């Protein structure tokens, strides 16, 4: 078994997760790719291996606690340990509350909050045994401010920040576990495809700003990972220059 660091990345089949997997692999970190779309994970694993990196994948729905536990178990079986978990999977079906898109609220709570908690729960026993680890949770600028249409999404991303800060206070001293909150502004990814509200989608498309690329966020994540063990980068906010 090699001594390379090992990172699990959820939502690795597109956008920020995919770019993060490539970035970490390029820094000689072994990556375990997780998401639901197997074809995309397979392609990314091949791409990383062609770059000279080491990648595994495990088809995982983050809303299923057993699948998340299986993901952690498989990572340890394949790669020997878990140094980093990037809880990145998420969706953003924005809408006004009085549109009453209750199914979408449930999905956001399930993926953006419960998925993060299940990820933490799955890796903590291993990190506690190791007395080291790093949990990186992807919140958002929407985890710092609310706009009409973002109430529920923002609620999930505020929750991610609260959970991460609580986890830090509980696990830093005794278990040497680091936590990082990453808050991206607008990034050009497939995330807007989760918006079903036509007015909100149109307003999004009308925004006159150059968005970030996924690679910009991947580099912020990689910066936090690369710090020495006694340095915990607690939170990073990255906005497009033109974003409010």
Sites of contact with ligand NDP (CB under 6 A): 10-11, 13-17, 35-37, 60-63, 88-92, 111, 138, 140, 184, 186-187, 189-191
Q: What is the closest distance, in whole angstroms, from the C-beta atom of residue 70 to ligand NDP in the complex?
A: 13
Cα 5 to Cα 107: distance, rounded to the nearest angstrom: 32
Distances (CA, A) of 113 to 33, 46, 153, 160, 165: 20, 30, 10, 6, 14
Q: What is the closest distance, in whole angstroms, from the C-beta atom of residue 198 to ligand NDP in the complex?
A: 19
Active site residue 153: yes
Tokens of 158: 């505020």
Catalytic residue among 153, 158, 175, 223: 153
Coil vs helix vs strand at 194: helix
Coil vs helix vs strand at 169: helix
Which residues are paired to 184 by β-bridges?
A: 238
Query: Between residues 74 and 131, which has the closer beta carbon with respect to ligand NDP?
Result: 74
Query: Between residues 123 and 191, which has the closer beta carbon with respect to ligand NDP?
Result: 191
Tokens of 36: 């639901």
Q: What is the closest distance, in whole angstroms, from the C-beta atom of residue 11 to ligand NDP in the complex?
A: 3
Query: Between residues 44 and 124, which has the closer beta carbon with respect to ligand NDP?
Result: 44
Residues with a catalytic annotation lie at 153
């Amino acid at each position: 078994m090699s001594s390379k660091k090992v990172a699990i990345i959820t939502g690795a089949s597109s956008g920020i997760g995919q770019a993060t997997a490539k970035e970490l692999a390029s820094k000689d970190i072994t990556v375990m790719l997780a998401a639901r779309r197997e074809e995309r994970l397979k392609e990314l694993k091949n791409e990383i291996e062609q770059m000279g990196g080491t990648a595994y994948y495990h088809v995982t729905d983050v809303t299923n606690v057993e699948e998340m536990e299986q993901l952690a178990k498989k990572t340890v079986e394949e790669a020997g340990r878990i140094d980093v978990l990037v809880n990145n999977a998420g969706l953003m079906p924005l809408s006004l509350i009085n549109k009453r898109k209750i199914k979408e609220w449930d999905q956001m709570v399930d993926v953006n909050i419960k998925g993060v908690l299940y990820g933490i729960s799955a890796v903590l026993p291993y990190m506690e045994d190791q007395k080291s680890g790093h949990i990186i949770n992807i919140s958002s600028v929407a985890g710092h401010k609310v706009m009409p249409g973002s109430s529920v999404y923002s609620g999930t991303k505020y929750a991610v920040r609260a959970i991460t800060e609580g986890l830090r206070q509980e696990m830093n001293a005794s278990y040497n576990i680091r936590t990082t909150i990453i808050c991206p502004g607008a990034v050009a990814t497939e995330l807007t495809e989760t918006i079903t509200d036509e007015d909100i989608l149109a307003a999004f498309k009308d925004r006159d700003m150059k968005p970030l690329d996924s690679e910009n966020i991947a580099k912020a994540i990689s910066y936090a990972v690369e710090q020495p063990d006694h340095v915990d980068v607690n939170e990073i906010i990255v906005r497009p220059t033109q974003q409010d």
